[in-house]
């Protein structure tokens, strides 16, 4: 079973995302900020990361930079999932190595599309 | 609604659009027509049906329009668009090397996501299409969806269903909460109101036809009539794409499925495109990515 790491500081968003991602056939792990997400990757590198942008401690973009700097950090697909919906943000995310970008609010259709696009479904 | 009124409306709909309304869809008819009844200042279905019986053309068109299902998305089902790139385009590039012209028809294009997806695929193939001219004609029975299609303005939700983010960045500008396809891409698609039940010959010949997710609404005789008319608008070595739940098998002799390529059909008797090496499948939409 493929693994998805859900990174979001909102417990509600994590639980919605968890429901969707499990329905799509993934095992899930969760983290509430970028630093915790890096630890989770340390323990087990996921196949895909669903990543919020604005979080305390370490934000999504900082996490992405740190992840991609790791020797094995190129492997997971990273799909941003954030309420930042302006072009410069999206461009910045892709330039930093994100594979896809979801603008909140999201639903199962959108997650499914994006996971298909990055090749994990 | 009385059974009599229902029968009249179902008959009108079938005659004008081909759409089949079975008795279990009465709720659909009621819920979709109620706003129309109100906007006309009428009180109930009896009055509404009487107004239709006078032959009010505009009202009849409104009924047809209200009853169509316009569900669509960018790169719907993904696979057909990958196959256009990996299988159909190479075949057509070889077959049309002398004229260097391609004509594509989206025959029930709804709000435009399908023809624009094709335009984005072809735009991606700019290098291979250097020196070629291509045209996409997109048609639908419903003027209101075509108006939206021409504007190329989509909600945040719509652009996230199917559209790869690199393509969003490349081809759209943000406009308030919506996203608008850039003018240069909108210009590549020509939209026209066309009822598939009508004479289609004025549209001319095409090399590739997308007729997806519309036959499902018709009964078998209507399906075969439409497929036969469509076959006359397709080059003898052209390609037809149907929706995932649609087929020509048992419906018409005019087309046959392309072996091992789900959803693609060719005019019966077309020489197989054995010379075309299909490119290996890649995950996701990588193949049509910006
Ligand atoms: C479900 S949409 C399919 C859109 C697109 N082809 C896709 O696959 O996503 C069906 C469209 O068929 C159109 N339609 C229904 N009856 C038609 C007819 N008789 N002639 C032309 N278009 C028709 C409807 O207006 C609607 O926009």
**CA–centroid distance, residue B71 to ligand 1 (Å):** 9
Check if A75 contacts B (Cβ < 8 Å): no
Of the candidates B228, B201, B233, B195, the residue with the CA atom closest to the CA atom of residue B214: B195
Looking at beta carbons, which residues of chain A come within 8 Å of B74?
Answer: none
Is A116's CB within 8 Å of B78's CB?
yes
pLDDT in tens, B178-219: 999 999 999 999 999 999 999 999 999 999 999 999 999 999
Q: Which of B12, B60, B75, B108 to mutate to test the pocket of ligand 1 (most atoms within 8 A of CB)?
A: B108
Q: Which residue has the higher pLDDT, B282 or B185?
A: B185
Among A35-39, B44-48, B107-111, which stretch is predicted with the lowest mean pLDDT?
B44-48
Q: CA-to-CA distance for A100 and A78, rounded, in angstroms? A: 7
| Alpha-carbon distance values, B88 to B91, B92, B183, B201, B235 (Å) | 5, 6, 27, 24, 13
Check if B286 contacts A (Cβ < 8 Å): yes
Segments of chain B assigned to CATH 1.10.155.10: 3-67
Residues with CB under 6 A from ligand 1: B 17-19, 68-72, 76, 108-110, 114, 140-142, 145, 195-197, 212-214, 243
CATH of domain B79-286: 3.40.50.150
- CA triple B93-B98-B103, angle to 5 deg: 55
Instruction: Please report the pLDDT score of residue B110 as a whole number.
Output: 98
Q: Give ipTM to 2 decimals.
A: 0.93
Confidence of residue B280 (pLDDT cuts 50, 70, 90): very low
Q: Which CATH superfamily is domain A3-116 in?
A: Response regulator (3.40.50.2300)
Q: H helices of B175-247, where?
A: 183-186, 220-232
Find out whether B140 and B193 touch, Cβ atoms under 8 Å. Answer: yes
- Mean pLDDT calculated for residue range B244-271: 92
Q: H helices of B161-219, where?
A: 165-171, 183-186
Of the candidates B212, B209, B116, the residue with the CA atom closest to the CA atom of residue B168: B116
**CA–centroid distance, residue B238 to ligand 1 (Å):** 21
CATH of domain B3-67: 1.10.155.10
Instruction: Please report the pLDDT score of residue B287 as a whole number.
Output: 44
Count chain A–chain B contacts defined by CB atoms under 8 A.
Answer: 38
Check if A101 contacts B (Cβ < 8 Å): yes
Helix (H) or strand (E) holding A82: strand A77-82
Ligand 1 nearest atom to the CA of residue B71, by list position: 1
**CA–centroid distance, residue B140 to ligand 1 (Å):** 6
Find out whether B204 and B103 touch, Cβ atoms under 8 Å. Answer: yes
| Omega within 30 of 0 (cis) for the link into A105 | yes
Confidence of residue B160 (pLDDT cuts 50, 70, 90): very high
Is A90's CB within 8 Å of B168's CB?
yes
pTM across the whole model: 0.92
Instruction: Please report the pLDDT score of residue B270 as a whole number.
Output: 80
| Alpha-carbon distance values, A99 to A102, B16, B39, B211, B290 (Å) | 10, 46, 47, 32, 13
- Mean pLDDT calculated for residue range A44-72: 96
Instruction: Please report the pLDDT score of residue B142 as a whole number.
Output: 96
Ligand 1 nearest atom to the CA of residue B243, by list position: 8
**Chain B residue closest in CA terms to A115:** B284
Looking at beta carbons, which residues of chain A come within 8 Å of B166?
Answer: 94
Instruction: Please report the pLDDT score of residue B155 as a whole number.
Output: 97
**Helix/strand/coil for B33:** helix
Residue B71's Cβ-count burial label (10 Å; 0-12, 13-18, 19+) is: exposed
pLDDT in tens, A61-119: 999 999 999 999 999 999 999 999 999 999 999 999 999 999 999 999 999 999 999 99
Of the candidates B117, B169, B259, the residue with the CA atom closest to the CA atom of residue A103: B169
Instruction: Please report the pLDDT score of residue B269 as a whole number.
Output: 85
Whether pLDDT at B151 is above 70:
yes
Q: How far is A99 from chain B (nearest CA, A)?
A: 9
Confidence of residue B273 (pLDDT cuts 50, 70, 90): low
Segments of chain B assigned to CATH 3.40.50.150: 79-286
Average pLDDT, rounded, for chain B: 92
Using the 8-state DSSP alphabet, how is residue A95 labeled? H
Whether pLDDT at A33 is above 60:
yes
Confidence of residue B277 (pLDDT cuts 50, 70, 90): very low
Of the candidates B193, B203, B256, B248, the residue with the CA atom closest to the CA atom of residue B226: B248
Whether pLDDT at B288 is above 80:
no
- The domain locations on chain A are 3-116
Q: Which residue has the higher pLDDT, B51 or B281?
A: B51
- Mean pLDDT calculated for residue range A36-50: 96
Region of B80 (left: φ > 0; alpha: ψ -120 to 50; beta: rest) is: alpha
């Amino acid at each position: 079973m493929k693994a998805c790491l859900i990174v979001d500081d909102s417990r509600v968003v994590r639980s919605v995302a968890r429901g969707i991602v499990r329905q799509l056939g993934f095992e899930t792990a969760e983290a509430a900020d970028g630093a915790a997400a890096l630890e989770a990757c340390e323990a087990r590198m996921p196949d895909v990361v669903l990543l919020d942008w604005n979080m305390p401690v370490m934000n999504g973009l900082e996490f992405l930079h740190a992840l991609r700097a790791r020797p094995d950090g190129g492997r997971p697909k990273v799909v941003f999932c954030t309420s930042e919906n302006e072009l410069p943000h999206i461009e910045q995310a892709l330039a930093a190595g994100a594979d896809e970008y979801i603008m909140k609010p999201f639903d199962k259709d959108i997650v499914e599309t994006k996971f298909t696009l990055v090749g994990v479904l | 609604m009385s059974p009599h009124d229902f029968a009249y409306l179902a008959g009108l709909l079938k005659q004008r659009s081909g759409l089949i309304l079975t008795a279990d869809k009465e709720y659909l008819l009621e819920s979709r027509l109620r706003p129309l009844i109100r906007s006309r200042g009428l009180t109930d279905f009896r009055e509404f049906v009487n107004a239709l019986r006078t032959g009010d053309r505009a009202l009849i068109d409104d009924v047809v329009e209200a009853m169509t299902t316009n569900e669509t998305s960018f790169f719907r089902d993904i696979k057909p668009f990958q196959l256009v790139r990996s299988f159909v385009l190479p075949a057509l590039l070889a077959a049309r090397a002398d004229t260097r012209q391609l004509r594509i028809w989206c025959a029930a294009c709804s709000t435009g996501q399908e023809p624009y997806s094709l335009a984005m695929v072809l735009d991606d193939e700019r290098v291979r299409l250097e020196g070629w001219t291509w045209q996409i004609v997109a048609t639908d029975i419903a003027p209101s969806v075509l108006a939206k299609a021409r504007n190329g303005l989509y909600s945040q939700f719509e652009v996230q269903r199917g559209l790869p983010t690199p393509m969003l960045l490349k081809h759209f500008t943000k406009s308030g909460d919506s996203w608008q396809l850039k003018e240069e891409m909108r210009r590549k698609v020509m939209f026209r109101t066309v009822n598939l039940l009508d004479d289609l010959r004025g549209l001319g010949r095409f090399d590739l036809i997308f007729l997806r997710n519309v036959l499902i609404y018709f009964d078998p005789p209507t399906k075969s009539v439409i497929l036969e008319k469509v076959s006359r608008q397709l080059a003898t070595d052209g390609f037809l794409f149907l929706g995932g739940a649609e087929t020509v098998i048992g419906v018409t002799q005019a087309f046959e499925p392309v072996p091992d390529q789900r959803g693609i059909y060719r005019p019966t008797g077309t020489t197989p495109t054995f010379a075309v090496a299909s490119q290996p499948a890649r995950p996701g939409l990588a193949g049509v990515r910006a």
